[in-house]
Amino acid sequence: MQKTCLNCGMIVDQYVQHCPKCDNALDVQHDGSTITVDIAHQGERVHEALEKMQHEIDAARAGVAMNLRLVVGSGLIRNEVLLALRDSEFRGDIKSFAAEPHNAGAVLVRLK
């Protein structure tokens, strides 16, 4: 699989961290977009929702989106997601996260 440098347009292998043409850091490039994913409304249990969340974070970090919006509901899954995101932020896997101000059932995760 390959990705494209958003600075110069060079196509490189997905594991390359810096563009060989312009030396831009590829893992921090983003197009400002937000991906929305519902991880809590298809009958998921907590561990299933957390697995979905981690899968979606990994996939989004590999792409060019800046944010990931997780629809988590307002119950136990939401609480566990917030705890897991705090750990991810501490480890540096994500930049930051916050519950949406007018929608307690969604969390915005800043990836890049």
Examine the domain organization and report whether 49 and 24 are in the same domain.
no
Q: Place 2 in a pLDDT band, splitting at 50, 70 and 90.
A: confident
Q: C-alpha distances in angstroms, 32 versus 3, 15, 26, 60, 64?
A: 17, 22, 14, 12, 8
Please give the Cα distance from 82 to 97 (Å, whole number): 8
Domain hosting residue 94, numbered range: 31-110
Please give the Cα distance from 40 to 108 (Å, whole number): 15
- Encoded tokens for 35: 């991906």
15 has a pLDDT exceeding 90: no
Examine the domain organization and report whether 16 and 35 are in the same domain.
no
Instruction: Write down the pLDDT at residue 1.
Output: 78
Q: What confidence tens digit (pLDDT) does each residue in 53-105 have?
A: 999 999 998 888 999 999 999 899 999 999 999 999 999 999 999 999 999 89
Please give the Cα distance from 29 to 27 (Å, whole number): 6
Examine the domain organization and report whether 21 and 68 are in the same domain.
no
Average pLDDT over residues 35-64: 94
Please count the structural domains in the chain.
2
